[in-house]
Amino acid sequence: MRLQAETPTLILASASSSRRALLDAAGLVFEALPAHIDEDAIKQAARQEKAPPEDAALLLARLKSERIAARRPDALVIGADQILVCEGEWFDKPADRDGAAAQLRRLRGREHRLVTAVLCLRGGQVVWQHVATPRLTMRDFSDGFLDAYLDHEGDAVLSSVGAYRLESLGMHLFDRIEGEHAAILGLPMTALLGFLRQHGVVLA
């Protein structure tokens, strides 16, 4: 018996391997199509307008969804975005190892939030949206550990807004984690699956 209805086609508007892995693990049949938007400019404008990070993350998720939905109007398009916030400061993906090291030093010993937005679009209309805000506290790790961590992880840390992958060695960085693991990885799966059941995409 299929868990998922044959229609609508499900599309993830993202190139994120973590988000693809989460949908795969849930047994969903979907296409993954990256949506190219100027995220830096949108975030900069949102910060200048003093918009809450929740609004900015939802806007980014919507713009990604709309880019794909314009080509595939009959599909149910999932857009997602994540913004790391620590004591009011927004963090972006580091550009290189030095940037990752500097970012992790700024987060060391402090709590931060991962504002994780997901939005579904169908027929040009937003049919559902959700924001999860896991909280994570980094331990006061040594510089020696930081160097060893970056040596092991390599360029993989550049794909994460926090310069860490909780599904890998990034778990060593933390003292406390509050929130859904999937939301930390970039897609609040519990809420998303609840919507998909209500929408008739997967069996209730």
pLDDT tens-digit map of 174-183: 999 999 999 9
Of 108, 60, 56, 101, the residue nearest 87 (C-alpha): 108
Q: Does pLDDT of 67 surpass 70? A: yes
Residue 1's pLDDT is 64
Q: Check: CATH 3.40.50.720 for 10-198?
A: no
CB atoms < 10 A from the CB of 90, how many?
16
pLDDT tens-digit map of 106-124: 999 999 999 999 999 998 8
The structural domains of the chain, with segments of one domain joined by +, span 10-198
Instruction: Please say whether the beta carbons of 19 and 186 come within 8 A.
Output: yes
Mean pLDDT of the chain: 95
The amino acid at residue 186 is G
Per-residue confidence band for 65, with pLDDT thresholds at 50, 70 and 90? very high
**Consecutive H or E run containing 72:** none
Catalytic site positions = 81
Q: Please give the average per-residue pLDDT across 83-112, as a whole number.
A: 96
